[in-house]
Copies of this chain bind each other. A is one copy, B any other.
Amino acid sequence: MSNFVDYLIKYNKDLKPIIDATFDKEQIAVGKIVPMAGDMINDYKKFLSGGKKLRGCEIFLGYQMFAGMNKEEGLLASLTIEIIHSFLLMHDDVMDQDDLRRGEPTIHKKYAKHFGDHYGESMAITLGDEGMFWAYRILNSLHFSRANMSKASEFLSQVLLEVGIGQALDITYEEQHKFSEEAVLQIHRYKTAEYTISGPLSVGAILAGADEKKLKAIKDFGIPVGIAFQIRDDELGMFSTEEELGKPVDSDLKEGKVTLLIVKALEFASVEDKKFLQSAHGNQKLTKEEVERVRTIIINSGAFAYSQKAARDLVEEGKKFIPEITDNIVYQKLLVQLADFVIERQS
């Protein structure tokens, strides 16, 4: 899969000066009015320097694939989803009550130092809202045709509406202890799939003038691959290291996140293991040894193998639609590698 990874690395390298210029300009403008918010834009510039920026890369790929010619504008366009993503994470972190993100204190934790928790959360809500408005402003001030920018805005809004539905499902099912494969895949479908794969590819494609037929093919490709992305994400959330994740590797388990691994382990495990799993899932006070036992159950029950196979099947299903997206063999190959990357990645 080296080619797509090379493409991703090159994209990140090319994006860096665009991030610096965009954030510095905004920081100066906003910092004049609210010094604290200016500092915060600076914090977020640092934040954006981390992460894979897969979604941004896909906007750029979608743009290039449909013969988008202006490289700098394509990169700038790609920044919109990375800004939205960063700022959505601010809201997510408040909801999940997470303290760490990419190895740094989360925004609400950082601001809580000034005037307490409620102030920290209020600032995280406000600054999250700002990120969204900022992204829409950028998306509608590029040097593309106004028609394509409006179409891209409409499309992106629809994708983000689905993320919100997924989020509402997620937090509600968690409280209702609704554990089923169907529920998990429904959340993945809404919260992640389109937003992570077909959404960004389509935004780039729309800006480059792609037609409805192409957008349909991107969606057919991206939905199964996007669901696989989240399945892989949940695997990493259980079996990766704190170093790789930038947050405690047991946090999904402790906060009681509903994942395919947990659902299947509950289904496949012995009565005794099942009982233990139920008591461990959502338990904030798990010891290291107990976390290790959960991992062992997930592997030995066959839940991990089930999850890997489900993700692989989805990826292969998505790949079938690649020829309908593009005739260009170079881009076909990149899309195949992107799909494989989604489930083979280690972080």
A219-B134 Cα distance, complex, nearest whole Å: 21
* Interface: A133 (CB within 8 A): yes
This chain: copies in complex:
2
A91-B154 Cα distance, complex, nearest whole Å: 23
Chain B residue at smallest Cβ distance from A158: B137
What are 5 pairs between A and B in contact, CB < 8 Å?
Answer: A88-B129, A126-B167, A137-B158, A139-B153, A146-B148
Contact B136 A171 (CB under 8 A): no
Contact A157 B140 (CB under 8 A): yes
Spell out A's residues near B (CB within 8 Å). Answer: 30, 33-34, 36-37, 88, 91, 94-95, 97, 114-115, 118-119, 121-123, 125-130, 132-134, 136-137, 139-141, 145-151, 153-154, 156-158, 160-161, 164-165, 167-169, 171-172, 175, 186, 190
Known contacts A146-B151, A150-B153: does B34 contact A172 (CB below 8 Å)? yes
Contact A36 B147 (CB under 8 A): no
A265-B223 Cα distance, complex, nearest whole Å: 60
Contact A160 B140 (CB under 8 A): no
Contact B190 A33 (CB under 8 A): yes
Known contacts A114-B175, A172-B34: does B160 contact A133 (CB below 8 Å)? yes
Q: A36-B172, A114-B175, A126-B167 provided; 19 other pairs, C-beta below 8 A?
A: A33-B190, A88-B129, A94-B125, A97-B118, A119-B175, A122-B171, A126-B171, A128-B129, A129-B164, A133-B158, A133-B164, A134-B157, A136-B154, A140-B154, A141-B154, A146-B147, A146-B150, A146-B151, A150-B150
